[in-house]
Structure 1
Amino acid sequence: MKTITFFFFSPFIIVHFLMSCPLCQSTNAPSHYYSDKKREYLQCNQCELVYVSPEFLPSKEVEKQEYDLHQNSFEDEGYRKFLRKVLTPLTPFIENMKFRELRGIDFGCGPAPVLASMLEEEGVRMNIYDPFYAHNLSVLEQRYDVVTCTEAIEHFHTPHVEWALFNKLVSPGGVLAIMTKRVLDKARFANWHYKNDVTHVSFFSEETFHYLAKRDGYSVTFPASDVVLLRKR
């Protein structure tokens, strides 16, 4: 007599099995990384991105409500000091290229594009883009010497889309400057305040940036614990 074995998979397991990485698009099943009372976090086994499981992603309405609470302004010296963490390592690149006009874009500028203003002061001709506050798609059809993305990449639900766009925006020899706090390890992730913001859904590590740099033709440096510079070869 033949024995027939039936395997039952919950929809939760099936979704994870079929899911592709939101950054590198690997179709290998992700690993469980961490769970708390609010969300589950997965990790890609190829690019090592840690990300919120899709069923816990916030709606656009929730995102907008959270972003409207931010009170950054051009007059806030504390915020300008914070942004100098990314501006300072960009300065040598800007100085070395002053023989011609540099063009830049601040991607995810928020309601107050302070960094764009600071780069303008350094002689970079800036555009801005933000899906909520500066939704001008025409600026995404150009190429730039400097592309900045400060405290925005961790909000991306489908970072492979924005990363592909970054690859198009950055001119050969140009710089992509990103500010985001980086994943270190599981033990520190458990007590990491950064993950508790409901709009923070994609968490990068040095390994993730090294993977992207090697795949897409960048040299990469880490001038601060929350800053990465990628120079397109």
Structure 2
Amino acid sequence: MRTITFFFFSLFIIVHFPMFCPLCQSVNASSHYHSDKKRDYLQCNHCKLVYISPEFLPSKEVEKQEYDLHENSFEDKGYRKFLRKVLTPLTPFIESAKDSELAGLDFGCGPAPVLASMLEEEGVRMNIYDPFYANNLSVLEQTYDVVTCTEAIEHFHVPHEEWALFNKLVVSGGVLAIMTKRVLDKARFANWHYKNDITHVSFFSEATFHYLAQRDGYEVSFPANDVVLMKKR
């Protein structure tokens, strides 16, 4: 019954209002992907992004309440080990530029910018940005050799805006390093704990990252099941 109701609601929306993919902005190119007790999910047929139906997007107040519950800290060895998954594949790029100082930005750093600190230990001059905890817009007016976005991209309500910003922030030859768990298929999505966080609203797959890489001029690699490196040509 939920799927039938959603189908007719979607049909009404498409007839009366054009529906845009929040990532690639394709018009009326999305279809029903999954429904659970809390939300409905769509998938864009072009970029393959899976995203929640717009009426289920959480408010900024709800988001902030959830983020304040996170207890990541500089002293947390487990968290530092977790971040090593994105730092380790970045090491060859950092080492190849030892003769010049690299500039980096940790985008969506949260209340404790641990990854930025770890990159500074590797010799990268870091800035940080987070819309809730480090909302310094001036750092977004610069360009960077390394931009990291760890466990943040799945929170983007309109990811085409952040992605356009990433394209401006990363210099030619620079690297965008993203950590987010990836969609595999419908069957596994149905029982996927990652989708149950109410602040997780955009879900990427390898196909999505390949689409973005081809469209925007990146070389893409997947060094771990939740890490993607995008090197700008």
TM-score scaled by length of structure 1: 0.95
Q: Answer whether contact 1:153 1:180 (CA < 8 A) is retained.
A: yes
Structure 1 residues 11 and 188: alpha-carbon distance in aligned structure 2, compared to 1, 3 A threshold:
closer
Structure 1 residues 194 and 126: alpha-carbon distance in aligned structure 2, compared to 1, 3 A threshold:
same
Cα-to-partner distance string for 1:131-162 (whole Å, 9 max, x where unaligned): 00000000000000000000000000000000
Q: Answer whether contact 2:14 2:28 (CA < 8 A) is retained.
A: no
Larger Rg: 1
Q: Which residue of 2 aligns with 1:195?
A: 195
Matched, 1:118 2:122: no
Matched, 1:229 2:223: no
Q: Which residue of 1 aligns with 2:106?
A: 106
Q: Which residue of 2 aligns with 1:3?
A: none
Matched, 1:62 2:84: no
Q: Where do 1:137-216 residues align within 5 Å?
A: 137-216=137-216
Per the TM alignment, residue 99 of structure 1 is displaced from its structure 2 partner at its CA by: 1.1
Per the TM alignment, residue 104 of structure 1 is displaced from its structure 2 partner at its CA by: 0.1
Q: Which residue of 2 aligns with 1:46?
A: 46
Per the TM alignment, residue 14 of structure 1 is displaced from its structure 2 partner at its CA by: 2.9
Q: Which residue of 1 aligns with 2:11?
A: 13
Question: Matched residue of 1:189: which SS?
Answer: helix
Q: Which residue of 2 aligns with 1:77?
A: 77
Question: Matched residue of 1:219: which SS?
Answer: strand
- The share of aligned pairs that are identical, in percent, is 83
**2:93 aligned partner, one-letter code:** F
Q: How many residues get paired?
A: 225
Question: Matched residue of 1:184: which SS?
Answer: coil
Per the TM alignment, residue 16 of structure 1 is displaced from its structure 2 partner at its CA by: 4.4
**1:69 aligned partner, one-letter code:** L
* Unaligned residue ranges in structure 2 (runs of 5+): 1-6
Q: Which residue of 2 aligns with 1:5?
A: none
Question: Matched residue of 2:173: which SS?
Answer: strand
Per the TM alignment, residue 12 of structure 1 is displaced from its structure 2 partner at its CA by: 4.4
